[in-house]
Structure 1
Amino acid sequence: MIKETFRIEIEPLSPTFVWSGETLYKGADFDLVNGKILIIDPFKALGKVKNLREIFKEQFARTIKGFKLIFPSTSVPNQILMINEYLVPASSLKGLIRTAILNKMAKNSPAIYNQIQSNLNTLTTLPPNQIFRQVKNVAEPVEKLLKDAVPFGRGKYTYDALNRLIISDPEIIQASLSLRKITILELFGTFKNENYAITFDKGKLVYDVKILQPSNYGVNSMLKKLDDKISKKEIFDSLSDYSKLVINSEIDKFRATNKNLRKYLEFLEKLRIESECVPLKIGMFTGHVAKTISLPSNIKNERDNIMAKITGHLWDNSTIKLTDDIGVGWVKICIR
């Protein structure tokens, strides 16, 4: 049974990047030709060229939804990260919605934070060869907020309320892509790194959304309470709440650095939640605050310290990712 149907629209407010998992290499996948970076599709050139160099022609350019991957440039990087063919796939949007809903639910169930702290402490008692396998269990109390074990025959299965949320892959409208240099800056030190990626800069993505609901819960009426957390209103309210968290977290970074980030700060100060639309970060290079629930400061600090010991590097929001001095991955999410 269909409980609700609606649309979600996404428009980039800053260059946005969801990685396809593919890395492109200079001289094999792309090269600089007549002042342009040309990313080629080798299958277009099959039987039409005699050697590799002849493949770098605009007629053999790779495309995404009809957009040719040809970008003006004065230099050529060694590697480029390839964007997802759907730009922001439905799975990324659904993952963001899940995090936002769980973040709101955790705040209404503060005992969850004590369970997280207990799981963190357990990590410190484990031998090194078991720690990384158990890290995923730290967040298990949060994940369970939308799940329940339901009797089925002689066993049980896990009921996940988010499975009722069905999001189509997006319709892509007038998309504009760019080749961007993304700079990673350490807020407290001198570390600096650069990546090149194809980013989604302009256009609109439109997703059809359905929320399903069983016609009869039978003896499992407690599952209706879980399903009631998955509604158009709950999604918007959760995203709005999460938006404030991410914006404030990003602004807080400016108090901890002497880097010149004025352009980005001015951008952040203009972000607003509108009647149907919420500004949020999505995709790669957005930082872990945009991907995880918030924690009370004492537990957050404990997590950072424990994970720093486990991984051997800082485990905090100590870097910022910029392109043209603006943070990567800001989008406007509208629920229509």
Structure 2
Amino acid sequence: MNDDLTPESQEMPGRDWLAAELADALDEEYELELEDVALSAEIARIYKDRHPDALDRATYMHALIRLQSELIKLQDWVVHNRQKVVVIFEGRDSAGKGGVIKRIAQRLNPRVVRTVALPAPTERERGQWYFQRYVPHLPAAGEIVLFDRSWYNRAGVERVMGFATEDQVEEFFRDVPEFERMLVRSGIKVVKYWFSITDEEQQFRFLMRIHDPMKQWKLSPMDLQSRVRWEQYTKAKEDMFERTNIHEAPWYIVEGNDKKRARLNCIDHFLSLMPYGPVPHEEIVLPDRVFNPDYERATLPPELYVPSKY
């Protein structure tokens, strides 16, 4: 008997077992969706009033799982063809970048698909070539890298908050098109997404975070300052689009007020950009377990086991 299976799963017919596996996958997604559930009936009512045409959970989750199955095909194609892909996610605070990154990576191999979210630069990094700290995170053959914010920090938060001088910003704008063209020439596919939300929607999401103990960590002093400097961020964004929207690596804007639609639209669009297709797979055959009649499983001391509280 396989010790890794529960008695229930050992007795379960094939179709019932598959149904249970699907239900478990849905439960996993539902756990992520709990992030979007309001803490009180009043907040839920306000959210529903603000998003009257929001996708129902069943429609959203069926579409998401279909897209995630395509992402698995894309992953296999990237590995088989030794492709290199960089996807940049930018946007205002609370615009939904992290949510779509989670859904893209959720069912993929973390050795193939990596998420990079760099902290503020160290003193040593501030003395380096600006792009230097990003270069070690670029993909090797057969990898996809998802940047949760990227070198475009210089065009946004660093510029607006005064962490970079105007000369440094101007140097960035001169360098970044050629930097990205250089990446493309080296065989890296560069995809850039900007998640766009309205002033009112950001305010609502910030208030949700303030009143949700499980999300308060997402609010930093910089996030709060972004509310004060909304118009400055808007001007910086427009300047960034004008000067960095190059043919080799164009910007794509995702309408983000509706989180679920934004996730589905972004994933669907990303898939449409990639010329992936079927790749050969070796048939997977589960080998027989080697049985040694002289082996006796040792009894381990009870203190080694995690207490069964649930």
The interval holding the TM-score normalised by the smaller chain is under 0.3
With normalisation by structure 1, the TM-score equals 0.25
Structure with the bigger RCO (C-alpha within 8 Å, sep 6+) is: 1
What is the TM-score of this pair, normalised by structure 2?
0.26
Q: Which has the higher strand share?
A: 1
Greater per-residue helix proportion? 2
